[in-house]
Amino acid sequence: MSAPEESVSNGAEAPRLSLSAIVNHDLQNGRYAEGEKELRRYLQDHPGDRAAQSFLRQLTEDPQKVLGEASTAHVVQPGESYSTLAAKYLGDPNMFLALARYNGSTDPARILVGSTLKLPASSSAAATAPPGQPAATIAPAPAVPAEPAPAPVVPSTQRAQQLENQSLALYRQGHKDKAVTIFDQALALNPQLTSSDPDFAALRRIWVADSHQEAMVLYLDQHLDQAIALWNRILVVDPSYEPAMVYRARALELKQRLQQY
């Protein structure tokens, strides 16, 4: 990427976005070009960030190469999203981007109940493989090395606890942005996470405030469904957070008015 693309007109470099902001504002809403640009900028400052590396790979590589060509059909149920499906069938909610692109979606935030999606066939095999045995995989073509067997799928509640512990450790080390990003992943798996740890309460307050700011950006850009969905998440985590209640109501009212025209 050339230097002029990295700078604004007055020569000052545009501020870096946090990874959670890139995910929620760009990647979740199908702003793939903008998301790729911001991910590359983020990785300049955080070259070892494996989550950012994974998002960039999901964004730039052929999704069939990432997830495999063989697939099974899945009918979308109420409450499901690409993130929840990725958590359930791939063991990682952050694989939503590859799963969305696997299904040709240009807007991962939009998923229709009753529609039929493709899920990688290997994900079902991994979920049902007996303990101690490798998951079944599609036989590779001759002379092509076999891919390593996928890691066992960890139950979502256990995985959420692992992510919570990881986020708290990062927060105590002063890595607030990375801590919030991983805390967001934990809440995607289990919005009802609780703890008496004061650092947990502090991290949850930061997540709520950051998520509200991201929802406000979506609201001002009139991405009302995405903003409402994010405020819904906030109110599950913190039902008493008044700004989310107020602006969610405004967004619902605006959406209703727009539908009348």
Q: What domains can be seen in the chain, in order of their start residue?
A: 3-60 (no CATH), 63-124 (3.10.350.10), 156-259 (1.25.40)
Give the pLDDT of residue 148.
47
Structure tokens at 172: 């105590």
Q: Report which secondary-structure segment, H or E, holds 189.
A: helix 176-189
Q: How far is C-alpha 256 from the geometric centre of its chain's CA atoms? A: 28
Provide the residue type at 71 as one letter: S
**By percentage, how much of the chain surpasses pLDDT 70?**
81
- 90 near 79, Cβ under 8 Å? no
> Roughly what angle, to the nearest 10 degrees, separates helices 224-237 and 242-259?
150
Give the pLDDT of residue 13.
57
Give the pLDDT of residue 48.
86
Degrees to nearest 5, angle at CA 255 with 214 and 105: 65
Q: How far apart are alpha carbons 112 and 41 in whole angstroms?
A: 33
Contacts with 254 (C-beta within 8 Å, 6 or more apart), sequence order: 222, 224
Residue range 72-76: mean pLDDT, rounded: 89
Residue range 101-108: mean pLDDT, rounded: 90
- Band (134; pLDDT cuts 50, 70, 90): very low
- Band (99; pLDDT cuts 50, 70, 90): very high
Which residues in 153-181 are b (16+ Cβ under 10 Å) and which e? Answer: beebeebbbebbebbbebbeeeeebbbbb
What pairs with residue 116 in β-bridges?
A: 75
Structure tokens at 240: 């008493």
> Roughly what angle, to the nearest 10 degrees, separates helices 82-90 and 176-189?
80
Residue range 97-105: mean pLDDT, rounded: 92
